[in-house]
Amino acid sequence: MLNFVYHPDYSYPFPDNHRFAMSKFHRLHRLLAREGILDQVWINEPAKASIEDISLIHQRDYVQALADGTLTPAQLKRLRLPWSPQLANRSFIAANGTYLTCQLALEHGLALHMAGGTHHSQPEGGAGFCVFNDMAYATVRMLQEQRAERVLILDCDVHQGDGTANILRGVSGAFTCSLHCQQNYPHPKVLSDLDVPIQAGCEDSEYLNLLARTLDILMTRFAPDLVIYDAGADVHEQDQLGHLKLTREGMEARDQLVFERCHQEGVAVAVVIGGGYATDREALVDLHAIPFRTAVKNAGNLGLRLRKTVA
């Protein structure tokens, strides 16, 4: 069974000229519905995480301040998002969305979340449009609950997953790998368990070769039970903050490579959408839809049953 995870509160009224496209989650759901893709899969709605849940990875005073709307001006400046009750609500839900996606992935082999990838948030607070670190949160819960023994974060967002590396450093059973543009945010970089710096201007063939070699290393060196795959759309050649030159075809090949290699190794994959900063919101959402289309297109080869097929 191919499962997607989504909650209608992921998007809420928000200035559409803001660099962060808060509307993209609703737009993505609407696009996939219009294309008939949602008719072919199972849709799952996550519950809201508690303050205690999120305090597994973030300092409790930060989590409480986010819930209460008492973040300091310095914290808000670093987060780069205005606080609102809707922001707090969606942040607690989205973290559990990635956790639910991981559970479904382990059960069925692959599951995809229509949000997530907030990899810059640190133990002490949010950063770079990232409120709570959903990938670190899901990893810690999966390990503590013994649902998985080895969880790999495969971060293919164009920006380094600095917060994820910091939170999970020293956590037994977790491995962080970041493929990112070396010249891009954040500065300075932090140490992941494996960093793959990519030079600005990198195109499809070079990127895919690097990813294939990286997967070889990861499957041999770490042998995960579960991969949390950040399929960032900001690697696209027209992204405003990306600096890489991947085409739509290259992005589809990237996702298919990850899905197929993990399937060959018997490794479950939980997908999150990561970043994307095209000013054309519909074009951005079209890029975010690529892993969902790729999963449906390759479901049979990945051993996944669709709810119904569309001619």
Q: How far apart are CA 177 and CA 239, in angstroms?
A: 22
At what angle are helices 281-288 and 290-297 packed, to 10 degrees? 30
For residue 311, pLDDT over 60 is answered with no
Neighbours of 95 (CB within 10 A): 31
SS3 195: strand
For residue 278, pLDDT over 90 is answered with no
For residue 310, pLDDT over 70 is answered with no
Q: For position 309, what pLDDT does the model report?
A: 64
Q: How far apart are CA 163 and CA 190, in angstroms?
A: 9
Q: Residue 1 CA to chain centroid, in angstroms?
A: 21
Write a three-state SS string for 111-180. Answer: EEECCCCCCCCECCECECCECCCHHHHHHHHHHHCCCCCCEEEEECCCCCCHHHHHHHCCCCCEEEEEEE
Q: For position 241, what pLDDT does the model report?
A: 85
Q: How far apart are CA 280 and CA 262, in angstroms?
A: 33
Quick one: 17 exposed, middle or buried, by C-beta within 10 A (0-12, 13-18, 19+)? exposed
DSSP state of 241: T
pTM of the model: 0.97
Position 69 confidence tier, pLDDT thresholds 50, 70, 90: very high
The model's pLDDT over 134-174, given as tens digits with 9 standing for 90+, comes to: 999 999 999 999 999 999 999 999 999 999 999 999 999 99
Q: Which residues pair with 269 in a beta bridge?
A: 110, 227
For residue 80, pLDDT over 70 is answered with yes
Q: For position 240, what pLDDT does the model report?
A: 85
For residue 182 the two structure tokens come to 């070396």
Q: For position 308, what pLDDT does the model report?
A: 73
For residue 47, pLDDT over 70 is answered with yes
At what angle are helices 204-221 and 248-265 packed, to 10 degrees? 20
The model's pLDDT over 176-234, given as tens digits with 9 standing for 90+, comes to: 999 999 999 888 899 999 999 999 999 999 999 999 999 999 999 999 999 999 999 99
Q: For position 279, what pLDDT does the model report?
A: 87
Neighbours of 158 (CB within 10 A): 28
- What is the average pLDDT score of the chain? 96
The model's pLDDT over 94-144, given as tens digits with 9 standing for 90+, comes to: 999 999 999 999 999 999 999 999 999 999 999 999 999 999 999 999 999
For residue 25, pLDDT over 60 is answered with yes
* In the chain, % of residues over pLDDT 90: 95
Average pLDDT rounded to a whole number, residues 79-106: 98
Q: For position 258, what pLDDT does the model report?
A: 98
Average pLDDT rounded to a whole number, residues 35-64: 98
The residue type of 126 is G
Element spanning 278, H or E: none
SS3 252: helix
Domains for the chain: give ranges and CATH numbers: 3-297 (3.40.800.20)
| Reduced DSSP (H G I as helix, E B as strand, rest coil) percent helix, strand, coil of the chain, to 5 | 45, 15, 40
Q: Which of 231, 221, 239, 224 is nearest to 276 (CA)?
A: 239
